[in-house]
Amino acid sequence: MPKVLVVDDAAFMRLALKTILERNGFQIVGEAENGAVALKMYQEYKPDLVTMDITMPVLDGIQSLKAIRQYDPKAKVIIVSAMGQEGMIKEAIASGAKSFIIKPFKEGHVIETLTKIATA
Amino acid sequence: MSELYANEPMMDMYIFETTQNIEQLETCILDTEKAGYYSQNVVNEIFRIMHTIKGSSAMMLFNNISMLAHTVEDLFYFLREHKPEQIDYSTLSDLVLEVVDFIKGELDKITQGDKVNRDSTILSSKIKDYLEELKQQNAITELIEKPVIEKQSHYYIAQDKTENKINLHMYKAIIFFDDGCEMENIRAYTITHHLRDMADEIYYLPQDIIENDESIHLIREEGFQLYVKINKTYNEMFEFLKQTIFLKDLELIELDNDEEFKQFYKPIKKIILDTPPVMIPKINNQNYQEGKEQTITSSNQSIISVNVAKLDKLMDLVGEMVIAEAMVTQNPDLKGLTIVNFHKAARQLHKITTELQDMVMAIRMVPLSTTFHKMHRIVRDMSKKLGKEVKLELIGEETEVDKNIIEHISDPLMHLVRNAIDHGLEATKDRVTLEKPKIGKVTLEARNAGSDVLILVKDDGKGLNKQKILDRARENDLLIKTENEMTDKEIYNLILLPGFSTKEAVSEYSGRGVGMDVVTNNIEAVGGSVSIDSEEGIGTTITLKIPLTLAIIDGMNISVGKSRYTIPTTTIKESFRPKENDLIKDPDGNEMIMVRGQCFPILRLHELYKVKTEVTDFTQGILIMVEQDEKTLCIFADMLLGQQQVVVKTLPSYIKSTRKIQGLAGCTLLGDGNISLILDIGGLVNLNG
């Protein structure tokens, strides 16, 4: 069961991802509301996958992604972002994000993305 | 998303979080408006909030909200990126507050299960116009932001691998993505980015996937064409590309020569692209701490949110349990039995039910701060429209009252604050001539007083004009007493009567035909009372007295004939059996009793409610002296039955609809199974004049 860390400042989005992932056989090991907490949780829980929102307070998704990748170059981070943030997503991919999910997301898309990244 | 959509916890979370975000946004705006400009932090914060609302609303398919939030997000993106200097902050605040109101309105509809369909396009285009204006004023032509990656990155030749060409295979791949997966260009970019570590040379078509989002259409129609020189077998390469997410179709051809590569060779320059240096942000501890405080949304694991309906149910159950407990411990079958152990156990049970009850009450208690802070907005809007400078002071906002009560007092408070600003405070220039402080002050104060909470709405305005009140009351036929017999307080209380507020007083904010009587009704509905103090030229204070909780009260049970009544113990001053010679009758036949030199009216309950009883002589029954609103009354009953906690139930509607019975606050079930009527002391003392 792949272990997932969900990072998003919106509790609603965390719940949405958690609901989708848990009923598809993923285990949520942690939920972080900003990038700084995410880094701490990553070090603590060693998740297989991280879903990472971009727009967050304290430490945004890109900075947090970089920090996590520096701590663990093999970290599998999937960016969760909205239409209109193409530039940010490109930057995230260039910084080592494995893939991305577009909000509003569909259950099938989320699962396909995470499953492929988990097994890759 | 339909399966998520129907999910109730998701909906609850959406409403909860969006409401919280909107309130945070409103506070944010009101605070910054005082400062006169939007700091970078505030701009970031608003951008973030709008981004979150946009995302959540889109997930829940509330497209009108999502679209509106998107427009505001764009506006604040512009503010954040370009930091324009000329900003009309006042209009900006108005716009954002309008958005706040729109979303609040839609959230209310969602909460009530109504359809969310209000058109947000007009408001959206207003915001877009504002943004356009802003751009023109600040002479910023929209620059398309260049991505960090250089334009030439559409091909890539690894430096250290070029010598090792012996094992190189050449491939051409055509990749189609699933329909509806969106952002195909970035997906294509992801493939090339991941290939970089392995391949020697990468070329692709369309070439402008990074900088041109229009390339999406080409990828959709013709597929993404990839040319790679790599040290991998056909199978390895195929497996690698197979991993592509949302891969619909993959065609992989091994090329014998590099003919097809030549089309890319025009600039025979080797471009070495290192991944841009990765900047690792230092996590500033101080920053982090600050962030913690700022975000209310941070998920504190030790707090959970509970549906109010569940709490109501819990409260009901505890109420039933209190009744059931009384039914057991005061069971008539136990009479005359010596049962020491039973009483011990019963006391233990009583202790626990009392604690449980206190705890349930405590859970339902909510601080008044949210309600109080809503007033900032009203003060802001009104002071802007009326051109009066007003300062709002909040005292004791941490005072807690029952959740249900809060809902009942929110509207009355709003009305009172509006009244205070509109009618209470003088115009700014008048205040200057009167040598009063230029800025008017409205104070909202809450404090505990026994089992009640007092909420005071104070203003330092002109105060009430007694003569005008009397004139108005006379016109509307509201005077019961002769004018010179009335105390100041009685005169002020006239404005609380229905029919006092006339349409002459209509302004945009207060007196929309809705008078102070609505305030009184709302407050009385939760068992509270309203009183007014005023001093001409100094100001007016309106005091709302509200019970801490509605559900369970301490009561004294009394009997009249076969009927049972309950008097809230907080109102009882004493009870006694009168002596014959203390009784007085005035010429109109009203009965009074002299206690320690003072006269008090007597109310015979059996007469008021037409109950048959054998006890009609005062010396055989008992008098209970009660006091409310500084008025005292002696109630005559047959006997006291004992003190008990009673659960207040409203009178059934079939009783209320047949006849309005005065002086009843509700009913309750006693331990012996009898129904007891709870007396509304406030109603009774006023009934008596």
Looking up residue B48, the CATH number of its domain turns out to be: 1.20.120.160
DSSP state of B192: H
B635 part of a folded domain: yes
Strand order in the sheet with B639-647: B639-647, B552-560, B563-568, B675-679, B664-669
Same domain, B94 and B46: yes
Q: In angstroms, rounded to a whole number, what is the distance separating the alpha carbons of residues B678 and B668? A: 7
CATH number at residue B508: 3.30.565.10
Which residue in chain A is spatially nearest to B286 when comparing CA positions?
A58
Q: CB–CB of B36/B89 below 8 Å?
A: yes
- Closest-CA distance, A55 to chain B, in angstroms, reads 6
Chain B residue numbers with beta carbons less than 8 Å from the beta carbon of A31 are: 299
B27 part of a folded domain: yes
pLDDT tens string B250-261 = 888 888 877 777
Q: In angstroms, rounded to a whole number, what is the distance separating the alpha carbons of residues B595 and B634? A: 10
- Closest-CA distance, B486 to chain A, in angstroms, reads 59
pLDDT at B283: 45
| ipTM reported for the complex, 2 dp | 0.86
pLDDT band at B297 (very low <50, low <70, confident <90, very high): very low
Amino acid identity of residue B646, one-letter, is V
Chain B residue numbers with beta carbons less than 8 Å from the beta carbon of A110 are: none
Share of chain B above pLDDT 70, in %: 86
- Closest-CA distance, A72 to chain B, in angstroms, reads 13
Same domain, B540 and B564: no
What is the CATH number that goes with domain A3-119? 3.40.50.2300
B88 part of a folded domain: yes
Q: In angstroms, rounded to a whole number, what is the distance separating the alpha carbons of residues B285 and B291? A: 10
B284 part of a folded domain: no
- The answer to whether the CB atoms of A10 and B10 lie below 8 A apart is no
Chain B interface includes A77 (CB < 8 A): no
- The answer to whether the CB atoms of B295 and A34 lie below 8 A apart is yes
pLDDT band at B193 (very low <50, low <70, confident <90, very high): confident
- The answer to whether the CB atoms of A103 and B55 lie below 8 A apart is yes
Residue B327 has a CB neighbour count (10 Å cut-off) of 15
Q: In angstroms, rounded to a whole number, what is the distance separating the alpha carbons of residues B677 and B687? A: 17
Residue B547 has a CB neighbour count (10 Å cut-off) of 21
The number of distinct structural domains making up chain B is 5
pLDDT at B281: 46
Tell me what the pLDDT averaged over chain A comes to. Answer: 90
Same domain, B338 and B448: no
pLDDT tens string B200-236 = 888 888 888 777 777 888 888 888 888 888 888 888 8
- Closest-CA distance, B309 to chain A, in angstroms, reads 21
Same domain, B578 and B677: yes
B665 part of a folded domain: yes
pLDDT at B157: 60
pLDDT tens string B84-126 = 877 788 888 888 888 999 998 888 888 887 777 788 888 888 8
Q: In angstroms, rounded to a whole number, what is the distance separating the alpha carbons of residues B64 and B54? A: 10
- Using the structure block, give the residue that is written with the tokens 């944010």: B28
pLDDT at B145: 46
- The answer to whether the CB atoms of A9 and B48 lie below 8 A apart is yes
List CB contacts of B202: < 8 A, sequence separation 6 or more. Answer: B155, B156, B192, B195, B196, B226, B227, B228, B229
pLDDT band at B587 (very low <50, low <70, confident <90, very high): confident
List CB contacts of B569: < 8 A, sequence separation 6 or more. Answer: B553, B554, B555, B556, B643
pLDDT tens string B158-180 = 555 444 556 678 888 888 888 88
Its domain, for residue B335, covers: 325-366
Q: What tokens appear for A36 in the block?
A: 């700084």
3-state helix vs strand vs coil in chain A, percent to 5: 45, 20, 30
Same domain, B184 and B255: yes
Q: Spell out where B480-551 has E strands.
A: 529-535, 539-547
pLDDT at B294: 41
pLDDT at B79: 87
Nearest to B453 by CA among B384, B534, B371: B371
Chain A residue numbers with beta carbons less than 8 Å from the beta carbon of B245 are: 99, 112-113, 116-117
Of B343, B366, B389, the domain-final residue:
B366
The residue of B22, B46, B52 whose CB has the most chain A CBs within 10 angstroms, and thus the best one to mutate to test that interface, is B52
pLDDT at B613: 87
Chain A residue numbers with beta carbons less than 8 Å from the beta carbon of B288 are: 36, 58-59
Evaluate if residue A27 carries a pLDDT over 90: yes
CATH number at residue B595: 2.40.50.180
Share of chain B above pLDDT 90, in %: 10
- Closest-CA distance, A51 to chain B, in angstroms, reads 15
- The answer to whether the CB atoms of B10 and A56 lie below 8 A apart is no
Would you list the DSSP string of B141-178?
Answer: PPPPPPPSS-GGGGEEE-TTTTT--TT-EEEEEEEEEP
pLDDT at B164: 53
Q: In angstroms, rounded to a whole number, what is the distance separating the alpha carbons of residues A51 and A73? A: 16
Q: In angstroms, rounded to a whole number, what is the distance separating the alpha carbons of residues B273 and B149? A: 9
- The answer to whether the CB atoms of A94 and B51 lie below 8 A apart is no
pLDDT at A52: 94
Three-state secondary structure call for residue B70: helix
- The answer to whether the CB atoms of A36 and B56 lie below 8 A apart is no
Bridge partner list, B635: B603, B624
Nearest to A67 by CA among B361, A56, B582: A56
pLDDT at B166: 63
B278 part of a folded domain: no
Same domain, B395 and B528: yes
Nearest to A16 by CA among A117, A106, A113, A112: A106
Q: Domain limits of chain A?
A: 3-119
pLDDT at B290: 42
Return residues 88-117 of A near B (CB < 8 Å): 89-91, 93-96, 99-100, 102-107, 109, 112-113, 116-117
Same domain, B438 and B520: yes
Distance of CA B348 to the CA centre of its chain: 39
Chain A residue numbers with beta carbons less than 8 Å from the beta carbon of B187 are: 99
- Closest-CA distance, B370 to chain A, in angstroms, reads 21
Task: State the burial class of residue A62 (Cβ atoms within 10 Å of its Cβ: 0-12, 13-18, 19+).
Answer: buried
pLDDT at B159: 55
Q: What is the mean pLDDT of residues B300-325?
A: 80
B276 part of a folded domain: no
Q: What are phi and psi of B119, to 5 degrees?
A: -75, 125
Tell me what the pLDDT averaged over chain B comes to. Answer: 80
Q: In angstroms, rounded to a whole number, what is the distance separating the alpha carbons of residues B490 and B500? A: 14
Q: What tokens appear for B654 in the block?
A: 């079939």
Chain B residue numbers with beta carbons less than 8 Å from the beta carbon of A116 are: 243-245
Q: CB–CB of B219/B206 below 8 Å?
A: yes
Q: Which residues of B153-179 are buried (b: 16+ CB within 10 A; e: fewer)?
A: bbbbbbeebeeeeeebbbbbbebbbbe
Same domain, B356 and B374: no
Would you list the DSSP string of A18-36?
Answer: HHHHHTTT-EEEEEESSHH
- Using the structure block, give the residue that is written with the tokens 């990244």: A117
Least CB–CB distance from B51: residue in A33, A55, A102: A55
Q: What tokens appear for B126 in the block?
A: 């207003």
pLDDT tens string B354-398 = 899 888 888 888 888 888 888 888 888 888 888 888 999 999 988
Which region among A60-74, B56-70, B543-557, B621-635 has the lowest average model confidence (pLDDT)?
A: B543-557
pLDDT band at B689 (very low <50, low <70, confident <90, very high): low
- The answer to whether the CB atoms of B280 and A66 lie below 8 A apart is yes
Evaluate if residue B454 carries a pLDDT over 50: yes
Evaluate if residue B349 carries a pLDDT over 90: yes
Q: Could you tell me the sign of the dihedral formed by the alpha carbons of B159, B160, B161, B163, in that order?
A: positive
pLDDT tens string B405-425 = 888 888 889 888 988 888 888
Same domain, B131 and B155: no
Chain B interface includes A23 (CB < 8 A): no
pLDDT at B265: 66
Least CB–CB distance from B299: residue in A11, A66, A120: A11
Evaluate if residue B560 carries a pLDDT over 90: yes
B435 part of a folded domain: yes
Same domain, B608 and B518: no
- The answer to whether the CB atoms of A13 and B288 lie below 8 A apart is no
Which residue in chain B is spatially nearest to A99 when comparing CA positions?
B190
pLDDT band at B7 (very low <50, low <70, confident <90, very high): low
Q: Tell me the helices (H) and strands (E) count for chain A, helix number first.
A: 5, 5
CA distance readout (Å), B46 to B22, B28, B43, B51, B78: 10, 8, 5, 8, 12
pLDDT at B158: 59
Q: In angstroms, rounded to a whole number, what is the distance separating the alpha carbons of residues B666 and B676? A: 9
pLDDT at B474: 83
Chain B residue numbers with beta carbons less than 8 Å from the beta carbon of A109 are: 181, 246
Q: CB–CB of B497/B517 below 8 Å?
A: yes
Ramachandran assignment for A13, one of left (phi > 0), alpha (psi -120 to 50 degrees), beta (any other): alpha
Q: What tokens appear for B38 in the block?
A: 């939007």
Q: In angstroms, rounded to a whole number, what is the distance separating the alpha carbons of residues B410 and B518? A: 12
How far apart, in Å, do the first and last CA atoms of chain B sit? 64
Of B498, B518, B547, the domain-final residue:
B547
- The answer to whether the CB atoms of B3 and A58 lie below 8 A apart is no
pLDDT: which is higher, B274 or B618: B618
How far apart, in Å, do the first and last CA atoms of chain A sit? 15
Q: In angstroms, rounded to a whole number, what is the distance separating the alpha carbons of residues B47 and B70? A: 10
pLDDT: which is higher, B596 or B297: B596
Q: In angstroms, rounded to a whole number, what is the distance separating the alpha carbons of residues B25 and A41? A: 29
pLDDT at A76: 93
Same domain, B620 and B603: yes
Three-state SS sequence of B347-369: HHHHHHHHHHHHHHHHHHEEECH
pLDDT at B457: 93
Instruction: Tell me the HSE value of B36 on the side-chain side, using a 13 A CA sphere.
Output: 0
CATH number at residue B217: 3.30.70.1110
Which residue in chain B is spatially nearest to A10 when comparing CA positions?
B52
Least CB–CB distance from B186: residue in A15, A19, A93: A93
- The answer to whether the CB atoms of A94 and B275 lie below 8 A apart is yes
Which residue in chain B is spatially nearest to A63 when comparing CA positions?
B281
Q: Could you tell me the sign of the dihedral formed by the alpha carbons of B69, B75, B78, B84, in that order?
A: negative
pLDDT at B244: 86
Same domain, B377 and B522: yes
